[in-house]
Structure 1
Amino acid sequence: MHHDAHPVHGSAGPGLPEILPPALAVLACAGGYLHLVHQARSRNPARGWNPWRTAGFLTGLVLLAVALLPPVASFAHGDFRGHMVQHMLIGMYAPLALVLGAPVTLLLRTLPAPRARRLTSLLHSRPARFLAHPAVALLLSTGSLAVLYFTPLYNATLAHPGWHWLLHAHFLLSGCLFAHAIAGPDPAPSRPGVRTRLVYLGCAIAVHATVSQLMYGGFGTHIHAPIPEVRGGAEIMYYGGDIAELLLAAALVATWRPERRPHPTPGTPHVPGPARA
Protein backbone atom coordinates (compact mmCIF):
# COMPACT_ATOMS: atom_id res chain seq x y z
CA MET A 1 0.00 0.00 0.00
CA HIS A 2 1.28 3.47 -0.83
CA HIS A 3 1.39 6.14 1.85
CA ASP A 4 0.83 9.68 0.58
CA ALA A 5 3.71 11.17 2.54
CA HIS A 6 7.14 12.43 1.70
CA PRO A 7 10.20 10.46 2.65
CA VAL A 8 11.26 10.57 6.26
CA HIS A 9 14.54 12.36 5.55
CA GLY A 10 12.89 15.45 4.02
CA SER A 11 14.12 17.32 1.00
CA ALA A 12 17.11 19.34 2.25
CA GLY A 13 19.55 17.23 0.30
CA PRO A 14 23.00 16.03 1.26
CA GLY A 15 25.56 18.52 2.54
CA LEU A 16 29.32 18.68 2.13
CA PRO A 17 30.06 16.06 4.85
CA GLU A 18 27.90 13.57 2.91
CA ILE A 19 29.28 14.55 -0.52
CA LEU A 20 33.01 14.56 0.24
CA PRO A 21 33.56 10.85 1.08
CA PRO A 22 32.00 9.43 -2.13
CA ALA A 23 33.76 12.05 -4.26
CA LEU A 24 37.14 11.18 -2.72
CA ALA A 25 36.43 7.45 -3.05
CA VAL A 26 35.63 7.78 -6.76
CA LEU A 27 38.77 9.85 -7.36
CA ALA A 28 40.87 7.31 -5.44
CA CYS A 29 39.50 4.45 -7.54
CA ALA A 30 40.22 6.34 -10.75
CA GLY A 31 43.77 7.12 -9.62
CA GLY A 32 44.40 3.54 -8.54
CA TYR A 33 43.15 2.09 -11.81
CA LEU A 34 45.20 4.52 -13.93
CA HIS A 35 48.28 3.73 -11.84
CA LEU A 36 47.80 0.00 -12.53
CA VAL A 37 47.36 0.74 -16.25
CA HIS A 38 50.67 2.64 -16.23
CA GLN A 39 52.36 -0.29 -14.47
CA ALA A 40 50.95 -2.79 -16.95
CA ARG A 41 52.20 -0.76 -19.91
CA SER A 42 55.63 -0.27 -18.30
CA ARG A 43 56.09 -3.98 -17.62
CA ASN A 44 55.02 -5.12 -21.05
CA PRO A 45 54.96 -2.26 -23.58
CA ALA A 46 54.25 -4.62 -26.47
CA ARG A 47 51.14 -6.03 -24.81
CA GLY A 48 50.04 -2.83 -23.09
CA TRP A 49 46.46 -2.47 -21.91
CA ASN A 50 43.32 -2.10 -23.99
CA PRO A 51 42.24 1.58 -23.87
CA TRP A 52 38.61 0.49 -24.21
CA ARG A 53 38.96 -1.26 -20.86
CA THR A 54 40.23 1.96 -19.32
CA ALA A 55 37.40 3.95 -20.90
CA GLY A 56 34.84 1.45 -19.59
CA PHE A 57 36.11 1.59 -16.01
CA LEU A 58 36.34 5.37 -15.97
CA THR A 59 32.83 5.61 -17.45
CA GLY A 60 31.57 3.44 -14.61
CA LEU A 61 33.19 5.76 -12.08
CA VAL A 62 31.63 8.80 -13.77
CA LEU A 63 28.19 7.16 -13.60
CA LEU A 64 28.80 6.36 -9.94
CA ALA A 65 29.80 9.96 -9.24
CA VAL A 66 26.69 11.24 -11.03
CA ALA A 67 24.54 9.00 -8.82
CA LEU A 68 26.19 9.90 -5.52
CA LEU A 69 26.68 13.65 -6.00
CA PRO A 70 24.26 16.53 -6.63
CA PRO A 71 21.99 17.11 -8.44
CA VAL A 72 20.99 13.42 -8.59
CA ALA A 73 21.78 12.81 -4.89
CA SER A 74 19.69 15.84 -3.91
CA PHE A 75 16.84 14.65 -6.14
CA ALA A 76 17.02 11.17 -4.60
CA HIS A 77 17.02 12.65 -1.10
CA GLY A 78 13.48 13.97 -1.40
CA ASP A 79 11.78 12.15 -4.27
CA PHE A 80 11.27 8.42 -4.88
CA ARG A 81 11.81 8.94 -8.61
CA GLY A 82 15.25 10.32 -7.80
CA HIS A 83 15.92 7.27 -5.64
CA MET A 84 15.10 5.03 -8.58
CA VAL A 85 17.38 6.96 -10.95
CA GLN A 86 20.11 6.59 -8.35
CA HIS A 87 19.34 2.88 -7.99
CA MET A 88 19.58 2.33 -11.75
CA LEU A 89 22.92 4.14 -11.98
CA ILE A 90 24.52 2.50 -8.93
CA GLY A 91 23.07 -0.98 -9.34
CA MET A 92 22.98 -1.54 -13.11
CA TYR A 93 24.71 1.01 -15.35
CA ALA A 94 27.86 1.76 -13.35
CA PRO A 95 28.52 -1.94 -12.50
CA LEU A 96 28.40 -2.98 -16.16
CA ALA A 97 30.91 -0.31 -17.17
CA LEU A 98 33.18 -1.08 -14.20
CA VAL A 99 33.15 -4.81 -14.91
CA LEU A 100 33.98 -4.24 -18.58
CA GLY A 101 37.11 -2.48 -17.35
CA ALA A 102 38.44 -5.93 -16.29
CA PRO A 103 39.98 -4.69 -13.00
CA VAL A 104 40.89 -8.19 -11.77
CA THR A 105 42.78 -9.00 -14.97
CA LEU A 106 44.61 -5.69 -14.68
CA LEU A 107 45.51 -6.46 -11.08
CA LEU A 108 46.79 -9.92 -12.00
CA ARG A 109 49.05 -8.38 -14.65
CA THR A 110 50.63 -5.93 -12.23
CA LEU A 111 50.94 -7.91 -8.99
CA PRO A 112 54.18 -9.74 -8.18
CA ALA A 113 53.99 -13.41 -9.14
CA PRO A 114 53.48 -14.80 -5.59
CA ARG A 115 50.61 -12.38 -4.88
CA ALA A 116 49.07 -13.01 -8.30
CA ARG A 117 49.10 -16.76 -7.56
CA ARG A 118 47.41 -16.16 -4.20
CA LEU A 119 44.75 -14.02 -5.86
CA THR A 120 44.20 -16.70 -8.51
CA SER A 121 43.82 -19.33 -5.76
CA LEU A 122 41.28 -17.10 -4.04
CA LEU A 123 39.29 -16.72 -7.26
CA HIS A 124 39.23 -20.51 -7.62
CA SER A 125 38.19 -21.10 -4.00
CA ARG A 126 34.81 -22.60 -3.25
CA PRO A 127 33.28 -19.43 -1.68
CA ALA A 128 34.41 -17.30 -4.64
CA ARG A 129 33.05 -19.80 -7.15
CA PHE A 130 29.76 -19.88 -5.24
CA LEU A 131 29.39 -16.08 -5.18
CA ALA A 132 30.35 -15.75 -8.84
CA HIS A 133 27.67 -18.17 -10.05
CA PRO A 134 24.90 -16.36 -11.98
CA ALA A 135 22.16 -17.88 -9.80
CA VAL A 136 23.67 -16.45 -6.61
CA ALA A 137 24.42 -13.11 -8.27
CA LEU A 138 20.83 -12.95 -9.56
CA LEU A 139 19.44 -13.62 -6.07
CA LEU A 140 21.65 -10.98 -4.44
CA SER A 141 21.03 -8.27 -7.05
CA THR A 142 17.57 -8.67 -8.54
CA GLY A 143 16.03 -10.89 -5.87
CA SER A 144 16.75 -8.34 -3.16
CA LEU A 145 14.35 -5.86 -4.80
CA ALA A 146 11.35 -7.73 -3.40
CA VAL A 147 12.85 -7.59 0.09
CA LEU A 148 13.58 -3.89 -0.24
CA TYR A 149 10.29 -2.61 -1.65
CA PHE A 150 7.76 -5.12 -0.30
CA THR A 151 8.88 -4.91 3.33
CA PRO A 152 9.47 -1.91 5.65
CA LEU A 153 13.20 -2.08 4.82
CA TYR A 154 13.19 0.77 2.28
CA ASN A 155 11.52 3.20 4.68
CA ALA A 156 13.96 2.15 7.42
CA THR A 157 16.92 3.07 5.22
CA LEU A 158 15.50 6.58 4.84
CA ALA A 159 15.56 7.12 8.60
CA HIS A 160 19.11 5.83 9.13
CA PRO A 161 21.88 7.34 6.95
CA GLY A 162 24.20 4.43 7.70
CA TRP A 163 21.65 1.97 6.35
CA HIS A 164 21.20 4.16 3.30
CA TRP A 165 24.92 3.92 2.49
CA LEU A 166 24.82 0.16 3.10
CA LEU A 167 21.98 0.00 0.57
CA HIS A 168 24.15 1.85 -1.98
CA ALA A 169 27.01 -0.56 -1.30
CA HIS A 170 24.69 -3.53 -1.77
CA PHE A 171 23.37 -2.16 -5.07
CA LEU A 172 26.89 -1.57 -6.36
CA LEU A 173 28.51 -4.84 -5.23
CA SER A 174 25.60 -7.09 -6.20
CA GLY A 175 25.29 -5.28 -9.54
CA CYS A 176 29.00 -5.80 -10.23
CA LEU A 177 28.68 -9.45 -9.24
CA PHE A 178 25.78 -10.04 -11.64
CA ALA A 179 27.42 -8.16 -14.52
CA HIS A 180 30.62 -10.17 -13.93
CA ALA A 181 28.72 -13.46 -13.80
CA ILE A 182 26.88 -12.72 -17.05
CA ALA A 183 29.37 -10.87 -19.25
CA GLY A 184 32.52 -10.01 -17.32
CA PRO A 185 35.88 -10.31 -19.14
CA ASP A 186 37.66 -11.17 -15.89
CA PRO A 187 38.31 -14.87 -15.10
CA ALA A 188 35.28 -16.71 -13.66
CA PRO A 189 35.89 -20.44 -13.10
CA SER A 190 32.26 -21.24 -12.29
CA ARG A 191 30.70 -19.31 -15.18
CA PRO A 192 28.31 -21.50 -17.21
CA GLY A 193 27.80 -21.42 -20.98
CA VAL A 194 26.28 -18.58 -22.95
CA ARG A 195 22.82 -20.11 -23.27
CA THR A 196 22.60 -20.66 -19.51
CA ARG A 197 23.69 -17.10 -18.81
CA LEU A 198 21.04 -15.79 -21.21
CA VAL A 199 18.43 -17.71 -19.21
CA TYR A 200 19.57 -16.02 -15.99
CA LEU A 201 19.50 -12.65 -17.75
CA GLY A 202 15.96 -13.38 -18.91
CA CYS A 203 15.00 -14.16 -15.30
CA ALA A 204 16.41 -10.80 -14.21
CA ILE A 205 14.36 -9.03 -16.89
CA ALA A 206 11.20 -10.84 -15.75
CA VAL A 207 11.77 -10.00 -12.07
CA HIS A 208 12.43 -6.33 -12.82
CA ALA A 209 9.27 -6.14 -14.94
CA THR A 210 7.15 -7.86 -12.28
CA VAL A 211 8.41 -5.75 -9.40
CA SER A 212 7.96 -2.50 -11.35
CA GLN A 213 4.41 -3.44 -12.42
CA LEU A 214 3.41 -4.38 -8.87
CA MET A 215 4.95 -1.14 -7.65
CA TYR A 216 3.04 0.87 -10.25
CA GLY A 217 -0.22 -0.75 -9.21
CA GLY A 218 0.50 -0.40 -5.49
CA PHE A 219 0.23 -4.12 -4.78
CA GLY A 220 1.98 -4.98 -1.52
CA THR A 221 4.66 -2.30 -1.65
CA HIS A 222 5.82 -0.46 1.50
CA ILE A 223 7.00 2.90 0.18
CA HIS A 224 6.29 6.12 2.07
CA ALA A 225 5.99 8.47 -0.89
CA PRO A 226 3.20 10.12 -2.90
CA ILE A 227 1.54 7.84 -5.43
CA PRO A 228 2.73 9.86 -8.50
CA GLU A 229 6.32 9.52 -7.27
CA VAL A 230 5.97 5.78 -6.74
CA ARG A 231 4.44 5.30 -10.18
CA GLY A 232 7.14 7.44 -11.75
CA GLY A 233 9.79 5.39 -9.97
CA ALA A 234 8.16 2.19 -11.22
CA GLU A 235 8.29 3.45 -14.80
CA ILE A 236 11.97 4.36 -14.39
CA MET A 237 12.67 0.84 -13.10
CA TYR A 238 10.69 -0.75 -15.94
CA TYR A 239 12.25 1.11 -18.87
CA GLY A 240 15.64 1.81 -17.31
CA GLY A 241 16.02 -1.82 -16.31
CA ASP A 242 15.17 -2.99 -19.82
CA ILE A 243 17.82 -0.74 -21.36
CA ALA A 244 20.46 -1.80 -18.84
CA GLU A 245 19.74 -5.48 -19.41
CA LEU A 246 19.87 -5.04 -23.19
CA LEU A 247 23.30 -3.45 -22.74
CA LEU A 248 24.31 -6.40 -20.58
CA ALA A 249 23.14 -8.81 -23.28
CA ALA A 250 25.15 -6.85 -25.86
CA ALA A 251 28.20 -7.07 -23.60
CA LEU A 252 27.68 -10.82 -23.30
CA VAL A 253 27.69 -11.19 -27.08
CA ALA A 254 30.68 -8.85 -27.45
CA THR A 255 32.82 -10.62 -24.83
CA TRP A 256 31.85 -14.17 -25.84
CA ARG A 257 34.51 -16.20 -27.56
CA PRO A 258 33.74 -19.66 -29.00
CA GLU A 259 35.75 -22.45 -27.47
CA ARG A 260 38.47 -23.65 -29.79
CA ARG A 261 38.49 -27.38 -30.36
CA PRO A 262 41.76 -29.11 -31.15
CA HIS A 263 42.15 -30.17 -34.77
CA PRO A 264 42.78 -33.90 -35.21
CA THR A 265 46.25 -34.87 -36.35
CA PRO A 266 46.32 -36.02 -40.01
CA GLY A 267 46.01 -39.76 -40.19
CA THR A 268 44.43 -40.04 -36.73
CA PRO A 269 40.78 -41.18 -36.69
CA HIS A 270 38.43 -38.64 -35.15
CA VAL A 271 36.72 -39.85 -31.97
CA PRO A 272 33.67 -37.73 -31.14
CA GLY A 273 33.48 -36.53 -27.55
CA PRO A 274 30.39 -36.11 -25.39
CA ALA A 275 27.80 -33.64 -26.59
CA ARG A 276 28.03 -30.16 -25.09
CA ALA A 277 25.12 -28.91 -23.06
Structure 2
Amino acid sequence: MMEGSMHQETGTQLVLMLPFLLMIGAYIWAGMITNRHYKTWPVTRYVFWAVGILCAASAVIGPIANRAHGDFTMHMTGHLLLGMLAPLLIAIAAPITLILRTLNVKWSRRISRLLKSRFFQVVSDPVVATLLNVGGLWLLYTTDLYMAMQHSIALHVFVHLHVFLAGYIFTVSMIYIDPTPHQRSYIYRGIVLVFALGGHGILSKYIYAYPPAGIPQEQAEAGGMLMYYGGDAIDIVLITIFCYQWYKASRPRTTSTYQPQYN
Protein backbone atom coordinates (compact mmCIF):
# COMPACT_ATOMS: atom_id res chain seq x y z
CA MET A 1 0.00 0.00 0.00
CA MET A 2 2.81 2.35 0.96
CA GLU A 3 4.77 1.40 -2.17
CA GLY A 4 1.76 2.22 -4.34
CA SER A 5 1.38 5.59 -2.64
CA MET A 6 5.05 6.37 -3.27
CA HIS A 7 4.73 5.46 -6.95
CA GLN A 8 1.63 7.67 -7.23
CA GLU A 9 3.43 10.59 -5.57
CA THR A 10 6.42 10.15 -7.90
CA GLY A 11 4.10 10.13 -10.90
CA THR A 12 2.41 13.32 -9.69
CA GLN A 13 5.79 15.02 -9.23
CA LEU A 14 6.81 14.06 -12.77
CA VAL A 15 3.57 15.44 -14.19
CA LEU A 16 4.03 18.72 -12.30
CA MET A 17 7.63 18.90 -13.53
CA LEU A 18 6.61 18.52 -17.18
CA PRO A 19 5.70 22.22 -17.80
CA PHE A 20 9.10 23.32 -16.50
CA LEU A 21 10.89 20.83 -18.73
CA LEU A 22 8.82 22.00 -21.69
CA MET A 23 9.87 25.60 -21.00
CA ILE A 24 13.52 24.55 -21.05
CA GLY A 25 13.00 22.59 -24.25
CA ALA A 26 11.09 25.43 -25.93
CA TYR A 27 13.86 27.90 -25.10
CA ILE A 28 16.56 25.63 -26.51
CA TRP A 29 14.48 24.98 -29.64
CA ALA A 30 13.85 28.71 -30.17
CA GLY A 31 17.55 29.51 -29.78
CA MET A 32 18.63 26.83 -32.24
CA ILE A 33 15.95 27.73 -34.81
CA THR A 34 16.76 31.45 -34.77
CA ASN A 35 20.48 30.77 -35.14
CA ARG A 36 19.75 30.19 -38.83
CA HIS A 37 18.81 33.83 -39.38
CA TYR A 38 20.49 35.77 -36.56
CA LYS A 39 23.69 35.88 -34.59
CA THR A 40 24.30 32.65 -32.67
CA TRP A 41 22.46 32.68 -29.37
CA PRO A 42 25.00 32.52 -26.51
CA VAL A 43 25.37 29.13 -24.84
CA THR A 44 25.55 30.82 -21.44
CA ARG A 45 21.98 32.03 -21.86
CA TYR A 46 20.75 28.47 -22.35
CA VAL A 47 22.46 27.63 -19.05
CA PHE A 48 21.02 30.63 -17.21
CA TRP A 49 17.52 29.81 -18.46
CA ALA A 50 17.70 26.11 -17.58
CA VAL A 51 19.12 26.70 -14.10
CA GLY A 52 16.62 29.50 -13.47
CA ILE A 53 13.67 27.32 -14.46
CA LEU A 54 14.97 24.45 -12.31
CA CYS A 55 15.37 26.83 -9.34
CA ALA A 56 11.76 27.91 -9.72
CA ALA A 57 10.63 24.30 -10.10
CA SER A 58 12.49 23.16 -6.98
CA ALA A 59 10.57 25.72 -4.94
CA VAL A 60 7.20 24.20 -5.85
CA ILE A 61 8.05 20.56 -6.64
CA GLY A 62 10.26 18.07 -4.87
CA PRO A 63 11.91 17.76 -1.43
CA ILE A 64 12.23 21.49 -0.69
CA ALA A 65 8.60 22.17 -1.57
CA ASN A 66 7.38 19.14 0.41
CA ARG A 67 9.32 20.09 3.54
CA ALA A 68 8.41 23.78 3.25
CA HIS A 69 4.90 23.11 4.58
CA GLY A 70 6.22 22.18 8.01
CA ASP A 71 9.68 23.73 8.05
CA PHE A 72 9.97 27.50 7.79
CA THR A 73 13.66 27.29 6.92
CA MET A 74 12.84 25.17 3.89
CA HIS A 75 10.07 27.60 3.03
CA MET A 76 12.59 30.44 3.08
CA THR A 77 14.94 28.42 0.90
CA GLY A 78 12.12 28.12 -1.60
CA HIS A 79 11.49 31.86 -1.33
CA LEU A 80 15.09 32.65 -2.23
CA LEU A 81 15.02 30.24 -5.16
CA LEU A 82 11.61 31.28 -6.50
CA GLY A 83 11.56 35.00 -5.75
CA MET A 84 15.21 36.01 -6.14
CA LEU A 85 17.58 33.55 -7.82
CA ALA A 86 15.22 32.20 -10.51
CA PRO A 87 14.05 35.69 -11.63
CA LEU A 88 17.66 36.91 -11.82
CA LEU A 89 18.87 33.95 -13.89
CA ILE A 90 15.84 34.07 -16.17
CA ALA A 91 16.24 37.82 -16.69
CA ILE A 92 19.90 37.32 -17.68
CA ALA A 93 18.74 34.69 -20.21
CA ALA A 94 16.89 37.48 -22.10
CA PRO A 95 13.68 35.54 -22.89
CA ILE A 96 11.87 38.53 -24.43
CA THR A 97 14.69 39.06 -26.92
CA LEU A 98 14.53 35.40 -27.89
CA ILE A 99 10.76 35.54 -28.28
CA LEU A 100 10.96 38.63 -30.50
CA ARG A 101 13.49 37.04 -32.81
CA THR A 102 11.56 33.75 -32.91
CA LEU A 103 8.16 35.16 -33.92
CA ASN A 104 7.31 36.67 -37.28
CA VAL A 105 7.30 40.43 -37.82
CA LYS A 106 3.56 40.79 -37.22
CA TRP A 107 3.61 39.16 -33.79
CA SER A 108 6.90 40.79 -32.82
CA ARG A 109 5.37 44.21 -33.45
CA ARG A 110 2.33 43.30 -31.34
CA ILE A 111 4.54 42.30 -28.42
CA SER A 112 6.59 45.46 -28.85
CA ARG A 113 3.42 47.58 -28.69
CA LEU A 114 2.34 45.69 -25.57
CA LEU A 115 5.70 46.38 -23.90
CA LYS A 116 5.29 50.06 -24.74
CA SER A 117 1.80 50.19 -23.22
CA ARG A 118 0.84 52.32 -20.24
CA PHE A 119 0.36 49.22 -18.11
CA PHE A 120 3.94 48.05 -18.55
CA GLN A 121 5.19 51.59 -18.10
CA VAL A 122 3.63 51.65 -14.63
CA VAL A 123 4.50 48.08 -13.62
CA SER A 124 8.12 48.38 -14.77
CA ASP A 125 8.72 51.51 -12.70
CA PRO A 126 11.26 50.57 -9.99
CA VAL A 127 9.12 52.03 -7.20
CA VAL A 128 6.03 50.06 -8.27
CA ALA A 129 8.12 46.93 -8.80
CA THR A 130 9.60 47.31 -5.31
CA LEU A 131 6.16 47.71 -3.74
CA LEU A 132 4.96 44.57 -5.51
CA ASN A 133 8.06 42.61 -4.53
CA VAL A 134 9.24 43.74 -1.09
CA GLY A 135 5.84 45.12 -0.09
CA GLY A 136 4.25 41.79 -0.95
CA LEU A 137 6.72 39.97 1.30
CA TRP A 138 5.95 42.29 4.21
CA LEU A 139 2.25 41.55 3.70
CA LEU A 140 2.94 37.81 3.56
CA TYR A 141 5.06 37.53 6.69
CA THR A 142 3.56 40.18 8.98
CA THR A 143 -0.09 39.20 8.57
CA ASP A 144 -2.09 35.98 8.72
CA LEU A 145 -1.58 35.46 4.99
CA TYR A 146 1.30 33.02 5.51
CA MET A 147 -0.77 30.66 7.63
CA ALA A 148 -3.83 31.10 5.42
CA MET A 149 -1.96 29.92 2.33
CA GLN A 150 -1.01 26.70 4.15
CA HIS A 151 -4.70 25.78 4.23
CA SER A 152 -5.74 26.86 0.73
CA ILE A 153 -4.31 25.37 -2.46
CA ALA A 154 -5.59 28.27 -4.57
CA LEU A 155 -4.04 30.84 -2.24
CA HIS A 156 -0.84 28.81 -2.06
CA VAL A 157 -0.52 28.81 -5.87
CA PHE A 158 -1.39 32.51 -6.07
CA VAL A 159 1.24 33.52 -3.49
CA HIS A 160 3.97 31.49 -5.19
CA LEU A 161 3.05 32.90 -8.59
CA HIS A 162 3.11 36.42 -7.18
CA VAL A 163 6.48 35.86 -5.50
CA PHE A 164 8.05 34.79 -8.80
CA LEU A 165 6.42 37.43 -11.01
CA ALA A 166 7.11 40.23 -8.52
CA GLY A 167 10.71 39.09 -8.23
CA TYR A 168 11.09 39.01 -12.00
CA ILE A 169 9.48 42.41 -12.53
CA PHE A 170 11.71 43.90 -9.83
CA THR A 171 14.82 42.39 -11.40
CA VAL A 172 14.09 43.62 -14.93
CA SER A 173 13.19 47.06 -13.58
CA MET A 174 16.74 47.33 -12.22
CA ILE A 175 18.89 45.71 -14.91
CA TYR A 176 18.14 46.00 -18.60
CA ILE A 177 18.97 42.84 -20.53
CA ASP A 178 15.88 42.60 -22.73
CA PRO A 179 14.42 45.51 -24.75
CA THR A 180 13.03 48.04 -22.26
CA PRO A 181 10.90 50.80 -23.83
CA HIS A 182 10.35 52.68 -20.56
CA GLN A 183 13.89 53.10 -19.25
CA ARG A 184 14.70 54.99 -16.07
CA SER A 185 17.96 56.68 -15.16
CA TYR A 186 20.68 54.82 -13.28
CA ILE A 187 20.50 57.30 -10.40
CA TYR A 188 16.77 56.76 -9.99
CA ARG A 189 17.09 52.98 -10.17
CA GLY A 190 20.08 53.01 -7.84
CA ILE A 191 18.24 54.98 -5.16
CA VAL A 192 15.22 52.70 -5.34
CA LEU A 193 17.48 49.63 -5.27
CA VAL A 194 19.08 50.80 -2.01
CA PHE A 195 15.68 51.21 -0.37
CA ALA A 196 14.48 47.87 -1.73
CA LEU A 197 17.49 46.01 -0.35
CA GLY A 198 17.04 47.81 2.96
CA GLY A 199 13.37 46.83 3.12
CA HIS A 200 14.23 43.20 2.42
CA GLY A 201 16.97 43.18 5.06
CA ILE A 202 14.76 44.81 7.71
CA LEU A 203 12.02 42.27 7.02
CA SER A 204 14.45 39.38 7.56
CA LYS A 205 15.40 40.86 10.94
CA TYR A 206 11.74 41.39 11.80
CA ILE A 207 11.01 37.73 11.05
CA TYR A 208 13.97 36.75 13.26
CA ALA A 209 12.52 38.71 16.20
CA TYR A 210 8.79 38.35 15.52
CA PRO A 211 7.99 35.00 13.85
CA PRO A 212 4.90 34.70 11.63
CA ALA A 213 1.92 33.14 13.40
CA GLY A 214 2.40 29.44 14.00
CA ILE A 215 6.16 29.41 13.32
CA PRO A 216 8.46 28.21 16.15
CA GLN A 217 11.05 30.74 17.29
CA GLU A 218 14.05 28.61 16.30
CA GLN A 219 12.69 28.11 12.76
CA ALA A 220 11.98 31.82 12.43
CA GLU A 221 15.52 32.66 13.51
CA ALA A 222 17.03 30.22 11.04
CA GLY A 223 14.70 31.38 8.27
CA GLY A 224 15.37 35.04 9.00
CA MET A 225 19.13 34.50 8.88
CA LEU A 226 18.83 32.57 5.63
CA MET A 227 16.70 35.32 4.12
CA TYR A 228 19.22 37.96 5.22
CA TYR A 229 22.49 36.33 4.17
CA GLY A 230 21.12 34.33 1.24
CA GLY A 231 19.35 37.42 -0.08
CA ASP A 232 22.56 39.42 0.25
CA ALA A 233 24.47 36.84 -1.80
CA ILE A 234 21.97 37.07 -4.65
CA ASP A 235 21.77 40.85 -4.35
CA ILE A 236 25.53 41.10 -4.80
CA VAL A 237 25.14 39.59 -8.27
CA LEU A 238 22.30 41.99 -9.09
CA ILE A 239 24.31 44.98 -7.85
CA THR A 240 27.39 43.88 -9.81
CA ILE A 241 25.40 43.68 -13.06
CA PHE A 242 23.74 47.04 -12.34
CA CYS A 243 27.05 48.78 -11.63
CA TYR A 244 28.70 47.21 -14.68
CA GLN A 245 25.89 48.42 -16.93
CA TRP A 246 26.12 51.89 -15.38
CA TYR A 247 29.88 51.92 -15.95
CA LYS A 248 29.51 50.89 -19.60
CA ALA A 249 26.84 53.52 -20.19
CA SER A 250 28.81 56.37 -18.58
CA ARG A 251 32.43 55.69 -19.55
CA PRO A 252 33.96 58.05 -22.10
CA ARG A 253 33.92 56.80 -25.65
CA THR A 254 37.02 57.11 -27.77
CA THR A 255 36.71 59.31 -30.83
CA SER A 256 39.40 57.52 -32.78
CA THR A 257 40.04 53.88 -33.50
CA TYR A 258 43.67 54.50 -34.46
CA GLN A 259 46.14 52.27 -32.68
CA PRO A 260 49.86 52.94 -33.13
CA GLN A 261 51.92 50.07 -34.48
CA TYR A 262 55.17 49.14 -32.84
CA ASN A 263 56.86 46.90 -35.37
Structure 1 unaligned spans of 5+: 1-13, 265-277
> Aligned runs of 1:42-57 on 2, under 5 Å?
42-44=36-38, 47-57=39-49
**Are 2:249 and 1:258 aligned?**
yes
Q: 2:136 aligns with which of 118, 128, 144?
A: 144
Q: Which letter does structure 2 place at the counterpart of 1:83? A: H
> Structure 1's 49 and 259: CA in aligned 2 closer, same or farther, altered over 3 A?
farther
Distance 1:233 1:171 in 2: 17
| Equivalent residue, structure 2, for 1:134 | 126
1:243 to 233, 236, 240: 233
* 1:112 partnered with 2:104: yes
Write the deviation string for residues 107-142 of structure 1: whole angstroms up to 9, x where unpaired: 111111111111111111111111111111111011
| Structure 2 match to 1:23 | 17
In structure 1, the residue matched to 2:202 is: 210
C-alpha contact 1:138 1:204 (8 A) present in aligned 2: yes
Aligned Cα root-mean-square deviation (Å): 2.2
Distance in 2 between residues matched to 1:171 and 1:18, nearest whole Å: 23
| Between 254-263 and 86-95, the greater mean CA deviation after superposition | 254-263
Distance in 2, Cα, partners of 1:260 & 1:120: 29
Equivalence for 1:100: 92
Please state if 1:73 is matched with 2:69: no
Instruction: Provide the C-alpha distance between the structure 1 equivalents of 2:152 and 2:53, rounded to a whole number of angstroms.
Output: 25
**SS, match of residue 42 in structure 1:** coil
Give 2:200's aligned amino acid: H
SS in 2 for 1:127: helix
SS in 2 for 1:37: helix
| Counterpart selection for 1:123 from 108, 115, 128 | 115
Structure 1 position 22, deviation (Å) = 3.7
201, 214, 224: which one pairs with 1:224? Answer: 214
Considering fraction of residues, name the structure with more helix: 2
Question: Who is 1:35 aligned against?
Answer: 29
The letter of the residue matching 2:35 is R
Alignment TM-score, normalising by the size of structure 1: 0.83
Displacement after TM superposition at 1:185 (Å): 0.3
Count of residue pairs the alignment pairs up? 247
- Normalising by structure 2, report the TM-score: 0.87
Structure 1 runs (4+) deviating above 2 angstroms are: 14-22, 65-70, 253-257, 259-264
Greater relative contact order (Cα < 8 A, sep 6+): 1
- What is the distance in 2 between the residues matched to 1:252 and 1:112? 32
CA drift of 1:166 comes to 1.2
Deviation at 1:21, TM superposition (A): 4.7
240 and 261 in structure 1: CA distance in 2 versus 1, 3 angstrom threshold = closer
Query: Shift of the alpha carbon at 1:236?
Result: 0.9
Q: Structure 1 245/84 Cα, relative in aligned 2: closer, same or farther at 3 Å?
A: same
Deviations 1:157-186 (A, max 9, x none): 001122111111111111111111111301
Cα distance change, pair 199–231 in 1 and its aligned pair in 2 (3 A): same
CA drift at 1:262: 10
Q: Percent identity between the aligned chains?
A: 32
- SS of residue matched to 2:149: helix
Residue 30 of structure 2 is aligned to residue 63 of structure 1: no
Q: 1:135 to 1:17 in 2, by over 3 A?
A: farther
